[in-house]
Structure 1
Amino acid sequence: MSVSIAVLDDYQQVAPAMADWSGQLPGSSVTCFDRHIADEDELVAALAPFEVIVAMRERTPFPRTVLERLPKLRLLVTTGMRNASFDLAAAADLGITVCGTRAHSPGTSELTWALILGLLRDVGAADARMRAGGWQSTIAQDLDGEVLGVVGLGRLGGRVATIGAAFGMDVVAWSPNLTHERAAEHGARLVSKEELFAGAKVVTVHMVLSDRSRGLIGAPELAAMREDAYLVNTSRFPILDAEALRAALTTGSRPAGVALDVYDTEPLPAGHWLRTAPRTLLSPHMGYVTEKTYRIFYADAVEDIAAFLTDPTAPVRPLTGQYT
């Protein structure tokens, strides 16, 4: 049995090489879109012919208003096992099967440390000065002996905390349900939210976006940070209060620097204020964009499709999580 498959947001044009599409899905046609389609009408028109859609994480939302206009769609696959931009209730109502893939989690925690080191060592600006003919002009900050504040000590935050301890940092952590025992498992001390923001040299965010965490870091938290402190967010942008962050960067002196891998609109528009914001280090939501991760994502997606074609009632990896 063959189907028509759309692979979305293949920015790097690598999806065909990352899995055995033709071998496991003989006769099926695979069309890869390397350009993000933000307009809903344009998206529906582009996807109307397809029976299967493979989405890369939450790059393209699928609310009810889109799903209802795709009558041919039978299977919707997301990379990863949770996708807050999928309306699972609508998919169920419309008889669309939704499933996910495994992932390779260390990538985001590794990028977190690339951003931390990039900030404290001024790597991006130093590279630009070198290419312009310059040499040393700044003094880097140290990690050893400093305080690392981890907001959210789950799977990714725990890895970041462990690495921080290896750098000789005093690791503190906070989240609403964190216990002393859980913090100790990762070599961290549980402190209050206020103590973490007031004392940490580096604050790194690893919370899941929810109603409780939206806007969690706002003007009071930013104002409480040390003038020589740095903030890193590789989780979800709305955990930060956007206007508070903008004010802190454009009119305030703290934090000393902010590194972001996530944004309120993605891809980040060309004229977005963050592109020219001072004291920032920006990466294009690439925490999970590694070769090992992509090979797992796409191989599992192919496996999901093949299993669905064999038995449409039993997807390999039913998706978990709710639309928000």
Structure 2
Amino acid sequence: MFKVVSTSPTFGKYSQDPITFLQSEGCEVVILSSEISHNEVALGRALKDVDALIVGVEKITSQVLEHVPKLKVIAKHGAGLDNIDLQAAKEKNIAITYAPGANRHAVADLVFGLMLSLAREIPNSSAQVQKGEWPRVIGVEMFGKTLGVIGTGKIGKEVIRRAQGFQMKILAYDLYPDQELSKSGSVTYVPLDELIQQSDFITTHTDLNENSKSMIGRPQLEAMKTTAFLVNTARGGIIDEEALYIALKKGEIAGAALDVFSVEPFIQSPLLELPNFICTPHMAGYTYEALQEVGMITARNVLNTLKGKQPEFSYQ
């Protein structure tokens, strides 16, 4: 019997199917509490006799991996791997799996929800009506505008697909442009500076790494149109939050919506005081459909790796 431990707060929570699947294949499944998952020492102790670890956004450091002699696989319950010390895992011959694109529809849907909310001031308008007011709110249209998409992986492509329904002009930036997407004629790849200067709406869909950290800072925000809107559902840290506050406060851009932040929970920031700022609690990938899919991909990745088979999605 294999022992599988999960630190992800959503694995198996909204659908028991992934846990039932692992159990039916002879696995013991243990869900750790957040108190243990976010305590480096306690987590290391809890993993000493574990064969597989399923993780969400919890930090899996080299110190944690010093205490896992039996661990064969770390399975990300999601796509981003920036919370895992990949080099330390490699040195210990621990396989890394993930579930890229499983939540692509969920994230792309929220991106459009946030862009529409910014363009039409939906949250502020609703709050005013609920207070008994009846304001005249003048918004802007998304139809026919220019959308800048930073990162054209699975999620970026779904955003592009939705944008085509709005007949938007689509500019894209990616370190590794998708040639098929470019040949389709629906997207024009441009340098990042050009995308920032020309776009009416900008949305980010890239991992957090040395190239993307503070990718949008003070210089980029100053270069944006004063009528432009910025959305980030990818990773906190891609946008410099202090620089964003200055830009929004001064009216250098029209508005911004963030679902991810450099520090979470996001409860103390001057951004929260601004009327042209929308925030959501890192919820882009969380729909029942997405959680079912990512859960089952994660479970299959774990089982395949433990049985010596090729997982559906693996890192290196």
Per the alignment, residue 277 of structure 2 pairs with: 280
The equivalent residue for 1:234 is 233
**1:68-147 to 2 correspondence within 5 Å?**
68-71=66-69, 73-80=71-78, 83-101=81-99, 103-147=102-146
1:137-168: CA deviation from partner (whole Å, max 9, x where unpaired): 42121112322222233332233223223213
How far is the alpha carbon of 1:276 from its aligned partner?
A: 3.6
Secondary structure of the residue that 2:237 maps to in structure 1?
helix
Cα offset, 1:263, TM superposition: 1.3
The separation in 1 between residues aligned to 2:157 and 2:255, in whole angstroms, is 23
Change (3 A) 1:26 1:191: closer
What one-letter code is carried by the residue in structure 2 that aligns with 1:319?
S
Consecutive unaligned residues of structure 1, counting only runs of 5 or more, are none
Quote the residue 2:219 is aligned against.
220
Q: Where does 1:1-324 land on structure 2 (aligned, <5 Å)?
A: 1-3=1-3, 5-11=4-10, 14=13, 17-19=16-18, 20-21=20-21, 23-26=23-26, 28-33=28-33, 37-48=37-48, 50-56=50-56, 59-71=57-69, 73-80=71-78, 83-101=81-99, 103-178=102-177, 182-183=181-182, 185=184, 187-250=186-249, 252-265=250-263, 267-309=264-306, 311=307, 313-314=308-309, 316-317=311-312, 319-320=314-315
2:37–2:58: 8 Å Cα contact kept in structure 1?
yes
What is the identity percentage for the equivalent residue pairs of Structure 1 and Structure 2? Answer: 25
User: What CA distance in whole angstroms lies between the structure 2 residues aligned with 1:319 and 1:141?
Assistant: 43
> Is the 1:200–1:226 contact (alpha carbons within 8 Å) kept by the matching residues of 2?
yes
- Aligned mates of 1:114, 1:34 — CA distance in 2: 30
Q: Compared with structure 1, are the counterparts of its residues 186 and 93 closer, same or farther at alpha carbon in structure 2 (3 Å cutoff)?
A: same
Where does structure 2 lack aligned partners over 5 or more consecutive residues? none
> 1:123 Cα deviation (Å)?
1.6
Deviation at 1:52, TM superposition (A): 3.0
For the residue of structure 2 that corresponds to 1:244, the secondary structure is helix
| C-alpha spacing 1:31/1:208, structure 2 compared with 1 (3 Å) | closer
Report the CA distance between 1:173 and its aligned residue: 2.8
Query: Are 2:236 and 2:261, in contact at CA under 8 Å, matched by a contact in 1?
Result: yes
Change in CA separation of 1:188 and 1:317 when aligned onto 2, cut-off 3 Å: closer
Worse-matched range after superposition: 9-18 or 104-113: 9-18
Does the 8 A contact of 1:2 with 1:25 survive in 2? no
Q: Shift of residue 230 of structure 1?
A: 0.5
Q: Cα distance 1:231–1:21, how it changes in 2: closer, same or farther (>3 A)?
A: same
SS at match of 1:284: coil
Cα distance in 1 for residues equivalent to 2:191 and 2:93: 46
TM-score normalised to the size of structure 1? 0.82
Change (3 A) 1:213 1:319: same
Deviates more, 1:88-97 or 1:221-230: 88-97
Quote the Cα distance in structure 2 between the aligned partners of 1:229 and 1:280.
Answer: 13
Checking the alignment, whether the CA contact within 8 Å between 1:249 and 1:279 is kept in structure 2 is: yes
Q: Secondary structure at the match of 1:197?
A: helix
Partner SS, residue 278 of structure 2: strand
Please tell me the residue identity of whatever aligns with 2:280: S
* Distance of 2:130 and 2:233 partners within structure 1: 28
**Secondary structure of the corresponding residue to residue 237 of structure 1:** coil
Given that 2:62 and 2:88 are in contact with CA atoms closer than 8 Å, whether structure 1 keeps it comes out as yes
- How has the CA–CA distance of structure 1 residues 146 and 175 changed in structure 2, closer, same or farther, with 3 Å as cutoff? same
CA separation in 2, counterparts of 1:315 and 1:14?
26
Give the SS at the match of 1:172: strand
Taking the aligned partners of 1:153 and 1:97, their CA distance within structure 2 comes to 26
Q: Are 1:147 and 1:200, in contact at CA under 8 Å, matched by a contact in 2?
A: yes
Query: 2:15 & 2:109 partners in 1: Cα distance?
Result: 26
Could you tell me which amino acid in structure 2 is paired with residue 76 of structure 1?
I
SS in 1 for 2:59: coil
In 2, the alpha carbon distance for the partners of 1:28 and 1:288 equals 27
**Superposed displacement of residue 134, structure 1:** 2.2
Determine helix, strand or coil for the equivalent of 1:159: helix
State the alpha-carbon separation in 2 of the partners of residues 30 and 197 from structure 1: 46
The two structures have a TM-score, normalised by structure 2, of: 0.84
